């Protein structure tokens, strides 16, 4: 009898084994991964996405496809990401604009906290206040000009609610001046109009501006952070240049739709940390003035929530609203 039961059990196990193997999930990722970028090609968000995407692709042996979807200060792309399947095959390279959106828009096609899972912060990047060579020669000159011509001095950004925009508004409040904001689809487009003399200043991600500053096509007046940037060590901070206490640090990080399985979130976060620890990646980021900031999903989630509150206070003080 025991022999009969043993034979039957072996038969059932043998019959069930192929079924169990068929149901086992394929190792992630089993196909190309899409990384959505809310700003134009050549923007700082795009640059960081391509660096991280390349390293993830090498680690996974799967292609990471960068998809630029600029518009509405990042809201368009973020909405697309929010509506994508939570299967790990859609990622979003977000920026400070992700935390600004809830305060800027009363009717978003997504919920910034509920519809996304934070994966890892990627980098912090100072902005640099740049003007055309024939413009203001210092921060004090720019402030004086704005006071002489209230509402006539213009600054450009990567769109309403972008980090560049909020940086400019924070400067307006801190310097107690009246200036006009001009929104573009990306940072490179705003710098093109600055070069063309159609706007007066831009708080640009430092990596975008450095080549133009080195070529003397633009003049760097100050960096936005509390300390100077190694990428432009001779350029003072805004605080050193006359606006006491000024400090504005932009950030970028990776998100996924909320339904994405937790093991995948942790796997991607760990791979991002490995990529940011590579000497060659650190060197690439340093040329753009970017500081690597890997974090756990939990750390990044807590940081984003705190940034949402911080950005809401700036947006309220500046009286900003797009709808």
162 within a domain of the structure (yes/no): yes
Return d(Cα 39, Cα 19) in angstroms, integer: 45
Residue 21 has pLDDT above 50, yes or no: no
Q: Is there a single domain that holds both residue 207 and residue 263?
A: no
CATH of residue 290's domain is 3.40.190.150
* pTM (predicted TM-score): 0.86
Q: Which residue has the tokens 């096509």?
A: 217
Residue 54: predicted pLDDT: 98
Q: Give buried/exposed letters for 139-172 (b at 16+ CB in 10 A, else e).
A: beebbebbeeeeeebbbbbbbbbbbbbbbbbbbb
CATH of residue 189's domain is 3.40.190.10
Q: What is the pLDDT of residues 271-289, one digit of tens each?
A: 999 999 999 999 999 988 9
Q: Is there a single domain that holds both residue 210 and residue 147?
A: yes
Residue 1: predicted pLDDT: 46
- Average of per-residue pLDDT values in the chain: 92
Q: Is there a single domain that holds both residue 281 and residue 311?
A: yes
Q: Is there a single domain that holds both residue 79 and residue 112?
A: yes
Residue 26: predicted pLDDT: 74
Q: Do 187 and 204 touch, CB atoms closer than 8 A?
A: yes
């Amino acid at each position: 009898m025991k022999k009969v039961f043993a034979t039957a059990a072996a038969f059932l196990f043998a019959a069930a084994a192929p079924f169990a193997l068929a149901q086992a999930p394929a190792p992630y990722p089993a196909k190309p991964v899409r990384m959505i970028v809310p700003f134009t090609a050549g923007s700082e968000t795009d640059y960081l996405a391509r660096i991280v995407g390349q390293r993830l692709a090498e680690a996974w042996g799967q292609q990471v496809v960068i998809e630029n979807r600029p518009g509405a200060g990042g809201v368009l792309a973020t909405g697309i990401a929010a509506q994508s399947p939570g299967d790990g095959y859609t990622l979003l390279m977000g920026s400070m604009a992700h935390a600004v959106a809830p305060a800027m828009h009363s009717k978003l096609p997504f919920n910034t906290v509920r519809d996304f899972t934070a994966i890892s912060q990627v980098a912090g990047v100072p902005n640099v206040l740049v003007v055309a060579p024939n413009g203001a020669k210092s921060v004090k000159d720019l402030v004086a000009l704005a006071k002489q011509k209230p509402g006539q001095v213009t600054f450009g950004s990567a769109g309403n609610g972008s980090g560049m925009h909020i940086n400019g508004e924070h400067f307006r409040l801190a310097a107690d001046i009246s200036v006009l904001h001009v929104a573009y689809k990306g940072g490179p487009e705003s710098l093109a109009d600055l070069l063309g003399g159609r706007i007066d200043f831009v708080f640009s991600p430092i990596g975008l501006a450095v080549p133009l500053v080195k070529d003397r096509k633009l003049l760097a007046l100050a960096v936005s952070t509390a300390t100077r940037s190694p990428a432009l060590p001779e350029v003072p901070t805004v605080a050193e240049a006359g606006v006491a206490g000024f400090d504005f640090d932009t950030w970028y990080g990776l998100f996924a739709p909320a339904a994405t399985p937790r093991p995948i979130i942790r796997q991607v976060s760990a791979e991002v940390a490995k990529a940011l620890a590579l000497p060659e990646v650190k060197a690439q980021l340093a040329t753009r003035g970017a500081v690597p900031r890997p974090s756990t999903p939990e750390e990044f989630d807590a940081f984003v929530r705190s940034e949402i509150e911080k950005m809401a206070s700036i947006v309220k003080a500046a009286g900003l609203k797009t709808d």
